[in-house]
């Protein structure tokens, strides 16, 4: 099947096709999933190079599990987010150097210089604040408020209950609101 024709094929169907030797299924899955994996890893780790390593590692685990995957039993993205969460947790528990590129380059060339600076300032402030959360609070708030996932899905990824997720995200938001308060002017909120 050509790559273009795979846009409507579900993730788990593509994974089964990959396991059956389809030559384009891996490309379709990579284009579809690698950016999401990378985004989650980057928000957890705050370091681009480490996030790329986690992305490759997580996708490697996906290729390995493919022959055993049973279509319709689980969501590929849920499984993958859980793998990423665990890989990130492992890395966060090891001694780490300071992130050299904690803030990605702005992607909108049309934005004014002031808007770019404002955006970068907000990204940097949020990254700092996220780093001050516990691992599980960070995971929950990133999945809920940045990835936009539902609480039941996050509960499955984090292997916990929905109420626990609600508690984690609520505490995380309170903490973020408090630690970011002194930076309100820097974040440009007083002019909003």
Partner 1 sequence: MTDPKTPQTPADLSDAELDALFGAAADAAPIPSGDVLARILADADALQPAAPGLVVPAQDPAQDPAAPFGRIMGYLAEALGGWRGATGLAGVAAVGLMIGISPPMALDSLAATYLGTGEVYLSDFVAGGEFLIDG
Indicate whether 145 belongs to the interface with partner 1 (CB under 8 A): yes
Tell me which of 1, 5, 10, 56 binds partner 1, using CB under 8 A. Answer: 56
Kindly give, in sequence order, each residue whose CB lies less than 8 Å from that of residue 165, ignoring residues fewer than 6 positions away. Answer: 140, 144, 151, 154, 155, 158
* Binding segment (CB under 8 A) for partner 1, from list 78-86, 89-97, 101-109, 158-166: 101-109
Length of the chain: 192
Q: How far is the CB of 31 from partner 1 (least distance, A)?
A: 5
- Is residue 102 within the footprint of partner 1 (CB under 8 A)? no
Q: How far is CA 139 from CA 71, 112, 122, 129, in A?
A: 27, 32, 19, 13
- Footprint on this chain of partner 1 (rule: CB under 8 A): 2-3, 18-24, 26-27, 29-31, 34-35, 38-39, 42-43, 48, 51-52, 55-56, 59-60, 63-64, 66-67, 104, 106-107, 119, 122-123, 125-127, 145-148, 173-174, 176-178, 180-182, 184, 187, 189, 192
């Amino acid at each position: 099947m050509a790559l273009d024709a795979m846009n409507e094929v579900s993730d788990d169907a593509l994974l089964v096709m990959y396991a059956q030797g389809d030559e384009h299924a891996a490309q379709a899955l990579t284009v579809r999933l690698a950016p999401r994996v990378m985004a989650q890893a980057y928000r957890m780790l705050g370091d681009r190079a480490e996030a790329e390593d986690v992305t490759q590692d997580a996708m490697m685990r996906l290729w390995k599990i493919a022959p055993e995957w049973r279509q319709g039993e689980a969501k590929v993205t849920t499984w993958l987010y859980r793998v990423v969460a665990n890989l990130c947790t492992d890395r966060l528990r090891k001694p780490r150097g300071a992130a050299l590129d904690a803030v990605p380059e702005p992607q909108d060339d049309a934005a004014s210089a002031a808007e770019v600076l404002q955006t970068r300032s907000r990204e940097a402030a949020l990254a700092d604040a996220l780093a001050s959360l516990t691992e599980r609070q960070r995971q929950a708030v990133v999945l809920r408020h940045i990835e936009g996932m539902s609480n039941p899905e996050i509960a499955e990824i984090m292997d916990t209950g929905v109420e626990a997720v609600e508690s984690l995200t609520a505490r995380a938001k309170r903490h973020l609101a408090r630690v970011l308060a002194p930076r309100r002017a820097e974040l440009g909120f007083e002019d909003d």
